[in-house]
């Protein structure tokens, strides 16, 4: 599992808890934890040890020394967890669920939301009439509209606002690209197989479920065994494949359904493979993320940007992961939409020109130090966090701030949103700093956006593998005088001597560096010939005197080349939408009992407005139709309802899909507009209503503002209430 953290994708977005589980569990449990003396004492120990580990790492202490300190830290944390496990059950089981509400009530809430979502076809199981496929979901009309609104706002908030270079690359990706990125080799989960039936399970899930189940069902388990089980639970994500296999054997764990024997764990690559083209020889995969499409286009994008850094590129698109056993509904799926930004900067200057625009934001950060010392997330001013180097640099800080603004504008509750810094053992070795935007929902704190400073890793990996130089150049502080020794080939002789290989030879000669050129010149003078080894082609050619001469050139260089660093915000759109559903879900009393309402902000609401005539009447119907048509023309999705159902029932139907505004046509020159959340109504002249709804839908005017402009419609409000 640790290996996973070393390549680009796995530990980040949309991968479940591959990080140090114990740290996570502690961090979560901590939220509602009652501290007593023992606990404080143990915390202090963990804190001190955590400080030590960080200090050792900071001064690049020998590996053994760090390892020993980490082992002790784990022991301490394990004891802390054991302590916690001894607390009342409800608290101990909060690992997966919310820290403030119990697991049971979380599940009830989730069921209510899911029912409301399925009832109005926000989503369905894909291919349901054929029995469905685990991990695949369809968005129905309102879900699809929410998604379109979220993506459109994402484009506005990030791409248009910061003039990012958006690209659109295929999902089909040839193996070479994903080999270079590390996915072919390392994008795996450990799997075990039912040796008789062939059923597959995630090895860590099997072990975790077994141990958890045993701990829960057997309260009188001997202390030593409980000790061992708890320790296993705490180190689950640190186990090597061998350790995992040994534990499964040791505990005699069998297939959960059939009770057959299980195979040893083995790595299963999570990419969907499919050959491209008819021969079957070009292996391809469905991309597990969209980022690689940007990296391989780096040179083109830099050129498009006039050769200047910094710049950002963006991509929205589908990505695919062949999960072994998808759980958690919409949160863990096999196909999903990502929106990713790769912001390229000079590693020597990671400032951001617009940082000041977000510096004064205050929200919850959960820095490494707070996690290690078991403290709560802290509400902090972004500018302060960057100035204190809690967040590594301005550009990373800028995107954390913009992400905060993005998520809260969508309707994510800012008190259930935190930015959690990766612990040292969660981060890839090359990463400078990583933060996850985590949103709390009934499944617990879910990573929905990953924000990472990945240094130059990706561009370097593709430069090496593709033999293209993915580099930018910068002005030197002062011009440097360079002596260059350049080969001047005799094309004719080389052509005659090397025929089909002449191009290869010519290129290799031109790429000789100063030392190599000098050496060849010497050899040619002394021996009359010199070997030219071409690494890429693994061939050696003999160059004879006369085929090449050398020219000494003294040039002034004012620029130098370098590989840019990349700061990557990566948004799991489906996860954000699911959390949004939960945060916006509410119920209220109505004529038919409890009614569901989604309190979507107008910006993301699937339908912005309903239009109905107060009574069935051709004139009012005609006006309602005209308003509806004008709204459509203005691009505002709306529903017209001329069924003559009671107003209360109509409201209930539209509340269920979160329509923020309702227009009731009750006369020929004016209408009432009702706000979903306050149920307040105002009187608006006919000719102003379309612009009003357009402005409110686009977030240009708020209901509060509008209430100051138009008179209230009190009578109608009362009838609405009683009608409901």
Instruction: List the interface residues with its own copies, window 603-662 (CB under 8 A).
Output: 632, 635-637, 639
Q: Of the two residues 415 and 468, which places its CB atom closer to its own copies in the complex? A: 468
Cα 625 off chain centre by: 42
Cα 390 to Cα 5, 366, 387, 438, distances in angstroms? 21, 10, 8, 18
Smaller CB separation from its own copies, 423 or 607: 607
Query: Which residues, 469 to 488, sit near its own copies by CB under 8 A?
Result: 470
Give the Cα separation of 109 and 399 in Å (integer): 32
Least Å distance, CB 257 to its own copies, is: 13
Q: Which is nearer to its own copies, 32 or 174 (CB)?
A: 174
Residue whose CB is less far from its own copies, 136 or 496? 136
Q: Which span (2-10, 76-84, 102-110, 267-275) binds its own copies, by CB under 8 A?
A: 267-275
Q: Which residues of 607-617 are buried (b: 16+ CB within 10 A; e: fewer)?
A: bbbbbbbbeee
Residue from 37, 58, 224, 281 touching its own copies (CB under 8 A): that is 281
Rounded-to-integer distance, Cα 433 and Cα 525, Å? 53
CB of 697 to its own copies, least distance (A): 12
Pick the binder of its own copies from 74, 77, 110, 120 (CB under 8 A).
120
Strand (E) or helix (H) holding 548: strand 548-562
**b/e map 37-53, b = 16+ CB within 10 Å:** eebeebbebbbebbebb
Interacting span for its own copies (CB under 8 A) from 217-225, 269-277, 373-381, 489-497: 269-277
Number of residues this chain uses to bind its own copies (CB under 8 A): 80
Strand (E) or helix (H) holding 172:
strand 172-174
Q: Which of residues 421-450 bind its own copies (CB under 8 A)?
A: none
Pick between residue 705 and residue 721 the one whose CB is nearest to its own copies. Answer: 705
**Only segment of 293-301, 385-393, 423-431, 448-456 that touches its own copies (CB under 8 A):** 293-301
Supply the minimum distance, in Å, between the C-beta of residue 322 and its own copies: 7
Residue found under tokens 């099997």 = 206
Residue from 276, 361, 614, 686 binding its own copies (CB under 8 A): 276
DSSP state of 709: T
Nearest distance from residue 533's CB to its own copies, in Å? 23
Pairing state of beta strands 444-453 and 565-572?
Answer: antiparallel
Q: Could you tell me if 11 and 1 are in contact, meaning their C-beta atoms sit under 8 angstroms apart?
A: no
| 551 binding its own copies? (CB under 8 A) | no
Phi, psi angles (nearest 5°) of residue 459: -65, -40
- Of 125-133, 203-211, 366-374, 516-524, the segment contacting its own copies by CB under 8 A is 125-133
**Contact track, its own copies, 189-218, x by CB under 8 A:** --x------xxx------------------
Interface mask (CB under 8 A) for its own copies, residues 169-188, using x and -?
xxxxxx-xx-----------
Cα 548 from Cα 573, distance rounded (Å): 58
Q: Which is nearer to its own copies, 288 or 444 (CB)?
A: 288
Residue 189 C-beta: closest distance to its own copies, Å: 9
C-beta of 144: minimal distance to its own copies in Å? 5
| From 18-26, 123-131, 508-516, 683-691, span contacting its own copies (CB under 8 A) | 123-131
**Distance in angstroms (rounded) separating the CA atoms of residues 671 and 609:** 13
Q: How far apart are CA 491 and CA 415, in angstroms?
A: 70
Nearer to its own copies, 419 or 600 (CB): 600
C-alpha–C-alpha distance, residues 153 and 151, integer Å: 5
Return the H-helix or E-strand segment holding 690: helix 689-697
CB of 166 to its own copies, least distance (A): 5
| Interaction of residue 257 with its own copies, rule CB under 8 A | no
In order, the DSSP letters of 483-549 are EEEEEEE-HHHHHHHHGGGHHHHHHHHHT--HHHHHHHHHHHHHHSEEEEEETTTTEEEEEETTSEE
Examine residue 256 and tell whether it contacts its own copies (CB under 8 A). Answer: no
Q: Report the alpha-carbon distance of residue 411 to residue 603 in Å, rounded.
A: 9
Binding to its own copies in span 486-525, by CB under 8 A: none
Distant-in-sequence contacts of 105-113, Cβ < 8 A, 24+ apart? 106/442, 106/443, 107/442, 109/442, 109/582, 109/585, 110/442, 110/443, 110/582, 112/585, 112/587, 112/596, 113/442, 113/581, 113/582, 113/585
With CB under 8 A as the contact rule, the residue among 83, 109, 251, 272 that binds its own copies is: 272
Separation between Cα atoms, residue 148 and residue 410, nearest integer Å:
12
Q: Using CA atoms, how far apart are residues 154 and 290, in angstroms rounded to an integer? A: 16
Return the residue matching tokens 């000079």.
346
Which residue, 4, 451, 16, 471, is CA-closest to 205? Answer: 16
CB atoms within 10 A of CB 172: 11
> 467 by DSSP, 3-state: which?
coil
Query: How far apart are alpha carbons 678 and 696 in whole angstroms?
Result: 15
Least distance to its own copies, CB of residue 666, Å? 23
User: At 663, phi and psi to the nearest 5?
Assistant: -105, 120
Cα→Cα distances 54→75, 200, 372, 388, 573, Å: 16, 39, 10, 17, 34
Residue 166 or residue 238: which is nearer to its own copies going by CB? 166
| Choices 274-282, 427-435, 533-541, 585-593 (CB under 8 A): range interacting with its own copies | 274-282
Closest to 209 (Cα-Cα) out of 106, 366, 95: 95
Select 56 or 662, whichever has its Cβ closest to its own copies.
662
Report, in Å, the least distance between residue 133 CB and its own copies.
5
* Residue window 318-357: x/- pattern of binding to its own copies, with contact defined by CB under 8 A: x-x-x-xx--------xx----------------------
Q: Which of 86, 104, 282, 615 binds its own copies (CB under 8 A)?
A: 282
**Which of 157, 231 has the CB closer to its own copies?**
157
Query: Comparing C-alpha atoms, which of 189, 174, 208 is closest to residue 296?
Result: 174
C-alpha torsion sign, points 112, 113, 114, 115: positive
- Beta carbons of 724 and 651 less than 8 angstroms apart: yes
Site track 297-316 with its own copies (rule: CB under 8 A), x = hit: x-xxx-xx------------
Q: Which stretch binds its own copies (CB under 8 A): 86-94, 226-234, 255-263, 271-279?
A: 271-279
Decide: is 39 part of the binding site for its own copies (CB under 8 A): no
Q: Give me the 128-167 binding string for its own copies, x by CB under 8 A, dash otherwise.
A: xxx--xx-xxxxxx-xxx-xx---x--xx---xx-x-xxx
Which of 168, 507 has the CB closer to its own copies?
Answer: 168
Q: How far is the CB of 84 from its own copies (least distance, A)?
A: 34
Rounded to a whole number of angstroms, the minimum distance from the CB of residue 602 to its own copies is 15
Q: Measured from the CB of residue 27, what is the shortest distance to its own copies in angstroms?
A: 31
Query: Which stretch in 77-85, 380-388, 430-438, 460-468 sits in contact with its own copies by CB under 8 A?
Result: 460-468
Please give the structure tokens belonging to residue 421: 């810094």
The stretch near its own copies (CB under 8 A) out of 47-55, 168-176, 369-377, 564-572 is: 168-176
Written as six digits, the tokens of 300 are 């083109």
CB of 170 to its own copies, least distance (A): 4
The sign of the CA dihedral 62, 63, 67, 70 is positive
DSSP state of 622: H
Residues 690-709 that bind its own copies (CB under 8 A): none
Question: Which is nearer to its own copies, 46 or 294 (by Cβ)?
Answer: 294
């Amino acid at each position: 599992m640790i290996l996973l953290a070393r390549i680009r994708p796995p530990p980040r977005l949309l991968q479940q808890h591959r990080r140090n589980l114990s740290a996570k569990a502690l961090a979560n449990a901590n939220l509602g934890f009652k501290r007593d003396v023992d606990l404080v004492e143990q915390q202090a120990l963990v804190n001190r040890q955590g400080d030590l580990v960080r200090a050792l790492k900071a001064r690049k202490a020998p590996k053994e020394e760090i390892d020993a300190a980490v082992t002790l830290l784990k022991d301490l944390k394990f004891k802390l967890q054991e302590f916690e496990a001894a607390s009342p059950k409800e608290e101990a089981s909060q690992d997966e669920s919310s820290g403030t509400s119990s697991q049971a009530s979380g599940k009830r809430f989730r069921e209510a939301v899911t029912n409301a979502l399925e009832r109005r076809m926000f989503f369905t199981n894909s291919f349901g009439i054929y029995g469905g496929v685990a991990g695949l979901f369809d968005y129905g009309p309102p879900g699809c509209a929410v998604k379109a609104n979220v993506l459109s706002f994402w484009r506005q908030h990030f791409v248009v606002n910061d003039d990012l270079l958006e690209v659109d690359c295929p999902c089909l990706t040839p193996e070479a690209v994903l080999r270079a990125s590390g996915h072919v080799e390392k994008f795996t989960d450990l799997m075990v197989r039912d040796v008789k039936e062939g059923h597959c399970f995630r090895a860590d899930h099997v072990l975790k479920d077994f141990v958890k189940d045993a701990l829960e069902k057997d309260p009188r388990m001997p202390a030593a065994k409980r000790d061992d089980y708890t320790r296993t639970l705490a180190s689950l994500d640190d186990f090597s494949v061998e350790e995992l296999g040994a534990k499964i054997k040791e505990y005699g764990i069998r297939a959960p359904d059939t009770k057959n024997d299980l195979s040893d764990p083995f790595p299963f690559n999570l990419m969907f493979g499919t050959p491209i083209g008819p021969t079957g020889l070009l292996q391809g995969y469905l991309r597990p993320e969209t980022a690689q499409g940007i990296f391989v286009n780096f040179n083109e994008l830099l050129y498009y940007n006039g050769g200047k850094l910094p710049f950002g590129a963006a991509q929205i698109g589908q990505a695919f992961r062949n999960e072994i056993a998808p759980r958690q509904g919409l949160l863990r799926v096999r196909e999903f939409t990502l929106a990713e930004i790769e912001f390229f900067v000079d590693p020597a200057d990671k400032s951001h020109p617009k940082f000041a625009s977000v510096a004064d934001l205050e929200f919850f950060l959960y820095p490494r130090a707070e996690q290690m010392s078991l403290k709560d997330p802290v509400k902090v001013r972004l500018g302060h966090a960057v100035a204190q180097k809690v967040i590594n640099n301005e550009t990373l800080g800028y995107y954390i701030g913009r992400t905060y603004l993005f998520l809260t504008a969508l309707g994510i509750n800012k008190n259930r949103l935190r930015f959690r810094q990766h612990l040292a053992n969660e981060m890839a070795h090359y990463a400078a700093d990583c933060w996850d935007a985590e949103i709390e929902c009934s499944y617990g704190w879910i990573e929905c956006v990953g924000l990472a400073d990945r240094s130059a890793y990706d561009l370097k990996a593709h430069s090496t593998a593709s033999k293209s130089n993915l580099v930018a150049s910068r002005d030197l502080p002062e011009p440097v005088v360079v002596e260059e020794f350049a080969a001047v080939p005799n094309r004719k002789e080389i052509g005659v001597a090397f025929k089909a290989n002449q191009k290869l030879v010519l290129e290799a000669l031109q790429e000789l560096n100063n030392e190599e050129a000098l050496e060849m010149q010497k050899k040619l003078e002394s021996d009359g010939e010199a070997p030219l080894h071409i690494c890429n082609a693994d061939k050696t050619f003999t160059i004879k005197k006369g085929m090449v001469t050398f020219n000494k050139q003294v040039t002034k260089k004012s620029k130098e080349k370098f590989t840019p660093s990349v700061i990557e915000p990566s948004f799991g759109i489906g996860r954000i939408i699911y959390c949004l559903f939960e945060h916006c879900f509410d119920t209220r009393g109505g004529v038919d009992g409890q009614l569901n309402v989604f309190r979507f902000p107008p910006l993301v609401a699937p339908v912005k407005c309903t239009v109905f005539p107060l009574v069935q009447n051709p004139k009012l119907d005609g006006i309602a139709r005209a308003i509806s048509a004008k709204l459509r023309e203005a691009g505002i999705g709306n529903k017209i309802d001329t069924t003559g159902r009671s107003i209360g029932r109509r409201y209930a139907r539209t509340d269920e899909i979160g329509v923020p505004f309702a227009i009731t046509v009750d006369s020929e020159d004016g209408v009432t507009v009702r706000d979903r959340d306050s149920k307040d109504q105002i009187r608006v002249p006919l000719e102003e209503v379309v612009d009003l709804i357009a402005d409110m839908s686009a977030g240009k005017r708020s209901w509060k503002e509008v209430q100051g402009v138009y008179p209230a419609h009190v009578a109608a409000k009362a009838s609405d209430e009683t009608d409901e």
